[in-house]
Amino acid sequence: MNVMQPIDRIRGGVHENERHESGHKHVSGTAEYIDDIPEPAGTLHGYLGLSQRAHADILSIDFDAVSASEGVIGILTADDIPGENDISPAHKHDDPVFATGKVEFYGQPMFAVIATSREAARRAAVKVEVEYRDLPHVTDVLEAAAANYPLVIDPLKLERGDIEAGFAKAKNIVEGEMRIGGQDHFYLESQISFAIPGEDDEVLVYSSTQHPSETQHMVATVLGVPSNAVTVNVRRMGGGFGGKETQANIFAAVAALAAKKYRCAVKVRPDRDDDMSATGKRHDFHVDYKVGFDDEGRIEAVDAVFAARCGFSADLSGPVTDRALFHADNCYFYPNVRLRSKPLKTNTVSNTAFRGFGGPQGMVGGERMIEDVAYAVGKDPLEIRKLNFYGGEGRNLTPYHQTVEDNIIGRIIEELETSADYAARREAVIAFNRENHIIKRGIALTPVKFGISFTKTEYNQAGALVHVYTDGSIHLNHGGTEMGQGLYTKVAQVVADEFQVDLDRIKVTATTTGKVPNTSATAASSGSDLNGMAAANAAQQIKARLVRFAAERWNVAEADVAFEPNTVRIGAERLPFGEFIKLAYGARIQLSAAGFYKTPKIHWNRSEGRGRPFFYYAYGASCSEVSVDTLTGEYQVDRTDILHDVGRSLNPALDLGQVEGAFVQGMGWLTTEELWWDAKGRLRTHAPSTYKIPLASDRPRVFNVRLAEWSVNREETIRRSKAVGEPPFMLGISVLEALSMAAASVAEYRIPPRIDAPATPERVLMAIEQLRAAARQGAVAQG
Amino acid sequence: MTIQIRNTIRFLLNHRLVELSDVSAVQTLLDFLRIDRNLRGTKEGCAEGDCGACTVLVGRLLGGQLKYESVNACIRFVGSLDGCHVVTVDSLATPGGPLHPVQQAMVQTHASQCGFCTPGFVMSLYGLWMENAKPSVTEIEKALQGNLCRCTGYAAIIRAAEAISTIGDLGKDPLFAERDRIAGELAALQDGRRVVIGEGAELFMLPASVDDFADVLEANPKATIVAGSTDVGLWVTKFMRDIAPVVHLTHLEELRRITVDDKGVTLGAGVSYAEAYPVITEHFPQLRELWDRIGGQQVRNMGTVGGNIANGSPIGDTPPALIALGASVTLRKGARRRTVALEDFFIAYGKQDREPGEFVEAVHIPFLEADTSFAVYKITKRLDEDITAVCGAFRLTFDGAGEVADAVIAFGGMAGTPKRAVHVEAALKGKAWQEPTVEQAISAFDQDFTPLTDWRASAEYRQLVAKNLLRRFYLETQATGNIRIDRNIAVAV
**B160/B211 same-domain check:** no
- State the CATH class of domain A284-455+606-782: alpha beta
pLDDT exceeds 60 at position A3? no
Pairing of strands A284-293, A299-311: antiparallel
The residue of chain B with its CA nearest to that of A35 is B40
Is residue A23 within 8 angstroms of chain B, CB to CB? Answer: yes
Rounded to an integer, the average pLDDT of B255-261 is 97
Is residue B469 within 8 angstroms of chain A, CB to CB? Answer: yes
Mutate to test the interface with A, among B54, B106, B113, B292 (most CBs of A within 10 A): B113
Give the range of the structural domain holding residue B167, as residue numbers without chain letter: 101-172
The CATH number of the domain holding residue B401 is 3.30.390.50
> CB count, 10 Å around CB of B382?
21
Instruction: Choose the closest CB to B122 out of A27, A678, A703.
Output: A27
Mark yes or no for CB contact B116/A239 under 8 Å: yes
Residue B220 lies in a domain: yes
B197 contacts B245 by C-beta, under 8 angstroms: no
Mutate to test the interface with A, among B35, B39, B103, B110 (most CBs of A within 10 A): B110
CA B301 to chain A, closest CA, distance in angstroms equals 18
Residue B424 lies in a domain: yes
Mark yes or no for CB contact A632/B468 under 8 Å: yes
Instruction: Choose the closest CB to B40 out of A24, A26, A36.
Output: A36
pLDDT exceeds 60 at position B460? yes
Half-sphere exposure of B98 (CA within 13 A, CB side): 8
pLDDT digits (tens, 9 = 90+) for A259-286: 999 999 999 999 999 999 999 999 999 9
Give the burial class of B69: count Cβ atoms within 10 A of its Cβ; 0-12 exposed, 13-18 middle, 19 or more buried: buried
Is residue A695 within 8 angstroms of chain B, CB to CB? Answer: yes
The b-or-e profile of A752-773 (16+ CB within 10 A means b, else e) is: bbbbbbbbbbbbbbbbbbbbee
Residue extents of the structural domains in chain A: 23-30+461-598, 42-136+191-269, 284-455+606-782
pLDDT exceeds 60 at position B493? no
Of B366, B386, B419, the position where a domain reaches its end is: B366
Residue B223 lies in a domain: yes
User: Which residues from chain B sit within 8 angstroms of residue A702, using beta carbons?
Assistant: 489-490, 493
**Of A647-656, B210-219, B308-317, where does mean pLDDT reach its minimum?**
B308-317
DSSP-assigned beta bridge partners for residue A463? A596
- Residue A734: helix, strand or coil by DSSP? helix
Instruction: Choose the closest CB to A692 out of B102, B104, B381.
Output: B381
Residue A782 pLDDT grade (very low, low, confident, very high; cuts 50, 70, 90): low
Is residue A123 within 8 angstroms of chain B, CB to CB? Answer: yes
Which one-letter amino acid corresponds to residue B247?
A: V
Pairing of strands A230-234, A203-207: parallel
Mark yes or no for CB contact A661/B151 under 8 Å: yes
- Tell me what pLDDT residue B491 has: 45
**B324/B430 same-domain check:** no
B 125-164 residues inside an 8 A Cβ radius of A = 140-142, 144-145, 147-158
CA B176 to chain A, closest CA, distance in angstroms equals 19
| Residues composing chain B | 493
Largest CA distance in chain A: 96
Mark yes or no for CB contact A639/B384 under 8 Å: no
Of B194, B226, B248, the position where a domain reaches its end is: B248
Instruction: Choose the closest CB to B153 out of A653, A660, A674.
Output: A660
The CATH number of the domain holding residue B147 is 1.10.150.120
What does pLDDT average to over chain A?
A: 97
Chains A, B: CB pairs < 8 Å: 279
CA A221 to chain B, closest CA, distance in angstroms equals 30
Please tell me the distance from the alpha carbon of residue B144 to that of residue B127, in angstroms, as a whole number. Answer: 10
- Total domain count, chain B: 4
**B36/B161 same-domain check:** no
Give the burial class of B120: count Cβ atoms within 10 A of its Cβ; 0-12 exposed, 13-18 middle, 19 or more buried: buried
The residue of chain A with its CA nearest to that of B100 is A28
**B187/B168 same-domain check:** no
Mark yes or no for CB contact B150/A241 under 8 Å: yes
pLDDT digits (tens, 9 = 90+) for A408-435: 999 999 999 999 999 999 999 999 999 9
**B80/B163 same-domain check:** no
* Active-site amino acid positions of A: 726
pLDDT exceeds 80 at position A709? yes
Is residue A680 within 8 angstroms of chain B, CB to CB? Answer: no
Of B114, B139, B172, the position where a domain reaches its end is: B172
- Tell me what pLDDT residue B479 has: 76
Is residue B384 within 8 angstroms of chain A, CB to CB? Answer: yes
- Tell me what pLDDT residue A8 has: 82
Is residue A169 within 8 angstroms of chain B, CB to CB? Answer: no
- State the CATH class of domain A42-136+191-269: alpha beta
Residue B486 lies in a domain: no
Please tell me the distance from the alpha carbon of residue A323 to that of residue A329, in angstroms, as a whole number. Answer: 11
Rounded to an integer, the average pLDDT of B334-347 is 96
The CATH number of the domain holding residue B321 is 3.30.465.10
B 229-258 residues inside an 8 A Cβ radius of A = 237-238, 240
Please tell me the distance from the alpha carbon of residue B176 to that of residue B101, in angstroms, as a whole number. Answer: 13
Rounded to an integer, the average pLDDT of A478-487 is 98
Q: What is the DSSP string of A41-69?
A: TT-EEEEEEE-S-SSEEEEEEE-HHHHHS
Give the burial class of B294: count Cβ atoms within 10 A of its Cβ; 0-12 exposed, 13-18 middle, 19 or more buried: buried
Rounded to an integer, the average pLDDT of B91-109 is 93
Mark yes or no for CB contact A695/B89 under 8 Å: no
Please tell me the distance from the alpha carbon of residue A319 to that of residue A331, in angstroms, as a whole number. Answer: 21
Is residue B456 within 8 angstroms of chain A, CB to CB? Answer: yes
B 43-102 residues inside an 8 A Cβ radius of A = 43-48, 50-51, 53, 88-90, 92-93, 99, 102
Residue A781 pLDDT grade (very low, low, confident, very high; cuts 50, 70, 90): low
Q: What is the DSSP string of A385-432?
A: HHHHBS-STT--B-TTS-B-----HHHHHHHHHHHTTHHHHHHHHHHH
Instruction: Choose the closest CB to A689 out of B34, B48, B465.
Output: B48
**B133/B267 same-domain check:** no
pLDDT digits (tens, 9 = 90+) for A363-377: 999 999 999 999 999
Give CA separation, A206 vs A209, A237, A265, in Å.
Answer: 9, 11, 11
**B189/B54 same-domain check:** yes
pLDDT digits (tens, 9 = 90+) for A34-66: 999 999 999 999 999 999 999 999 999 999 999
Mark yes or no for CB contact A672/B382 under 8 Å: yes
**B9/B69 same-domain check:** yes
User: Which residues from chain B sit within 8 angstroms of residue A272, using beta carbons?
Assistant: 45-48, 51
What does pLDDT average to over chain B?
A: 96
Percent of chain B residues past pLDDT 90, beyond the cut: 93
Residue B443 lies in a domain: yes
- Tell which residue, A45, A30, A40, has the closest CA to residue A235: A30
Mutate to test the interface with B, among A429, A656, A669, A697 (most CBs of B within 10 A): A697
Mark yes or no for CB contact B150/A684 under 8 Å: no
- Tell me what pLDDT residue B492 has: 44
- Tell which residue, A48, A62, A51, A250, has the closest CA to residue A135: A51
Q: Which residues are within 8 A (CB) of B484 and not within 5 positions of it... i.e. 6 or more apart?
A: A439, A629, B476
pLDDT digits (tens, 9 = 90+) for A222-248: 999 999 999 999 999 999 999 999 999
DSSP-assigned beta bridge partners for residue B397? B372, B406
Rounded to an integer, the average pLDDT of B313-320 is 94
pLDDT exceeds 60 at position B364? yes
The residue of chain B with its CA nearest to that of A276 is B46
Which one-letter amino acid corresponds to residue A736?
A: L
Residue B263 lies in a domain: yes
User: Which residues from chain B sit within 8 angstroms of residue A32, using beta carbons?
Assistant: 40
Percent of chain A residues past pLDDT 90, beyond the cut: 98
Residue B190 lies in a domain: yes
Instruction: Choose the closest CB to B113 out of A190, A484, A761.
Output: A484
- Tell me what pLDDT residue A4 has: 53
Mutate to test the interface with B, among A25, A28, A209, A756 (most CBs of B within 10 A): A28
- Tell me what pLDDT residue B490 has: 67
**B218/B304 same-domain check:** no
CA A393 to chain B, closest CA, distance in angstroms equals 40
A 275-334 residues inside an 8 A Cβ radius of B = none
Do A23-30+461-598 and A42-136+191-269 share a fold?
A: no
- Tell which residue, A438, A461, A696, has the closest CA to residue A594: A461
User: Which residues from chain A sit within 8 angstroms of residue B141, using beta carbons?
Assistant: 695-697
* DSSP H or E run through B29: helix B29-31
Residue B1 pLDDT grade (very low, low, confident, very high; cuts 50, 70, 90): low
Residue B335 lies in a domain: yes
- State the CATH class of domain A23-30+461-598: alpha beta
**B235/B347 same-domain check:** no
Mark yes or no for CB contact A697/B145 under 8 Å: yes
Is residue A262 within 8 angstroms of chain B, CB to CB? Answer: no
- Residue A194: helix, strand or coil by DSSP? strand
Mark yes or no for CB contact B489/A439 under 8 Å: no
Is residue B459 within 8 angstroms of chain A, CB to CB? Answer: no
Is residue B477 within 8 angstroms of chain A, CB to CB? Answer: no
CA A151 to chain B, closest CA, distance in angstroms equals 28
Give CA separation, B488 vs B136, B137, B485, in Å.
Answer: 12, 10, 9
Mark yes or no for CB contact A695/B114 under 8 Å: no
- Tell which residue, B265, B268, B267, has the closest CA to residue B254: B268
What is the ipTM metric for this complex? Answer: 0.97
A 551-570 residues inside an 8 A Cβ radius of B = none
- Tell me what pLDDT residue B42 has: 98
Q: What is the DSSP string of A640-705?
A: EEEEE--BS-S-HHHHHHHHHHHHHHHHHHHTT----B-TTS-B---STTTS----GGGS-SEEEE
